[in-house]
Chain A
Amino acid sequence: MTWSMAEDILPMIAFTVAMVAVLMVPVRPGGTFDANAKGFFTASILCYFISSWASILGHFGLFPTFLDPAVTSIELLWVPFMAFGVYALYSRQQLADAASSQHAVKRAGEMLESVMETAPAGIVVLDDAGSITFANGEARRLLDIVGDDPSALMSSDWSVRISPDHDRAEPSRRDFRALVVAEPQHDTPVLVSWPNGWHRHLSVNTAPFENGAGGVGGAVAAFVEREPASPTHAR
């Protein structure tokens, strides 16, 4: 073995090990490595792997000399392959992050929906005009909303009066506009009346939320019946 051959063996061993290590990186769902990243890194290291082996074989006269320019050209490819590999890794990471965030949002939404549906209080989401855009099961029962479709929320025939027992009671409205204010409300008495004379006294808490422009975009209102329903109140 000549010294020059010994020089070539060391890089050959190094890049063989690197090649094996890259091939052993697993491609897993949700992981950072995907087939593209692994392929580009493998191709990049393969460039030097081939080059090292070509040098070794050259010492034994086993490597055809006409392939020397090809080996030289192959070495040129390692830079773009390496860059593509890093970019593929980064893209995969971004996609995995987006999928993870989407999953987290979906899970949070499902959890919130469960909390809403199991809460013993009626919970509604009001838009800036005081119209109901969401109502949980208890709210649907208390407000006599029938049907799950959004139009059912809009077609109720009640009239709403805020602070009915107070001297400065709000006039009756067909929506909950008076509850959509900048400050949170606590234990606000609300009278909901139907055309047939049936009515419910509710105690309402509200929390406003902002719209994109920094104004009040609506409110979340939670309410319970102030007094148990009596036969005279039954519809």
Chain B
Amino acid sequence: MVVTAGAVNTAFKLVAALVFMPVMYSIGRQIRMPEAARYFLVGVVALIGSFALSVIGQQTGLNAEWFRWLRHLVVAFAGFSLAWAAWQARRHELSPAGGHR
């Protein structure tokens, strides 16, 4: 089995994400913005999922159209989830309890 540079890169991202994930999760849980934290977590998990799909695709040679679409959809889902998390964070910051105590 030939390991491509792209697969190594993606695998590195995947491992880094999995290593950082518990740290991010445990710290993120303590941040009092539950809505933002939930969608942030979903976004990060989706990105990690896209890494996993990418590694699978690169190593198995599976590059069918539906597979590429699936991977891009997961990445897009992650992006929209992070966008929604940022929007929820914005709402929190603009609320009376969010700032100017």
Contacts A30-B99, A86-B24, A89-B31 given; indicate if A79 touches B86 (C-beta within 8 A): no
Contacts of A93 in B (CB 8 A): 30-32
A26 to B90, CA, bound (A): 6
Determine if A90 and B32 form an interchain contact, defined as CB atoms under 8 angstroms apart: no
A-facing residues in B28-60 (Cβ within 8 Å):
28, 30-33, 44, 47
The residue that A31 contacts in the complex, of B28, B86, B93, with Cβ under 8 A, is: B93
Contacts A76-B16, A79-B13, A100-B101 given; indicate if A14 touches B79 (C-beta within 8 A): yes
- Against A, the Cβ 8 Å flags (1 = close, 0 = not) of B59-70 are 000000100110
Determine if B86 and A41 form an interchain contact, defined as CB atoms under 8 angstroms apart: yes
B-facing residues in A50-83 (Cβ within 8 Å):
72, 75-76, 78-80, 82-83
Q: Is A166 an interface residue (CB 8 A)?
A: no
A10 to B65, CA, bound (A): 15
Contacts A25-B93, A31-B98 given; indicate if A82 touches B24 (C-beta within 8 A): yes
Contacts of A8 in B (CB 8 A): 72
Contacts A25-B89, A93-B31 given; indicate if A14 touches B13 (C-beta within 8 A): no
Q: Is A24 an interface residue (CB 8 A)?
A: yes
- Against B, the Cβ 8 Å flags (1 = close, 0 = not) of A2-14 are 0110011011011
Determine if B79 and A17 form an interchain contact, defined as CB atoms under 8 angstroms apart: yes
Q: How far is the CB of A44 from chain B (nearest CB, A)?
A: 9
A7 to B68, CA, bound (A): 8
Contacts A87-B27, A90-B27 given; indicate if A31 touches B99 (C-beta within 8 A): yes
The residue that A75 contacts in the complex, of B13, B68, B78, with Cβ under 8 A, is: B13
Q: What number of A residues sit within 8 Å (CB to CB) of B?
A: 42
Contacts A17-B80, A21-B90, A82-B44 given; indicate if A48 touches B24 (C-beta within 8 A): no
Determine if B93 and A18 form an interchain contact, defined as CB atoms under 8 angstroms apart: no
A20 to B89, CA, bound (A): 13
A17 to B80, CA, bound (A): 7
Q: Is A29 an interface residue (CB 8 A)?
A: yes
The residue that B31 contacts in the complex, of A3, A30, A86, with Cβ under 8 A, is: A86
A78 to B99, CA, bound (A): 28
A7 to B90, CA, bound (A): 29
Q: How far is the CB of B45 from chain A (nearest CB, A)?
A: 12
Determine if B27 and A86 form an interchain contact, defined as CB atoms under 8 angstroms apart: yes
Determine if B79 and A82 form an interchain contact, defined as CB atoms under 8 angstroms apart: no
Starting from the known contacts A31-B93, A76-B9, 6 additional A-B residue pairs (CB-CB under 8 Å) come to A18-B82, A30-B101, A32-B98, A33-B93, A75-B13, A90-B28
- The 6 A-B residue pairs whose C-beta atoms are closest, nearest first, are A14-B79, A28-B99, A31-B99, A21-B86, A18-B83, A10-B76
Instruction: List residues of B whose CB falls within 8 A of some A CB.
Output: 6, 9, 12-13, 16-17, 20, 23-24, 27-28, 30-33, 44, 47, 65, 68-69, 72-73, 75-80, 82-84, 86-87, 89-90, 92-94, 98-101
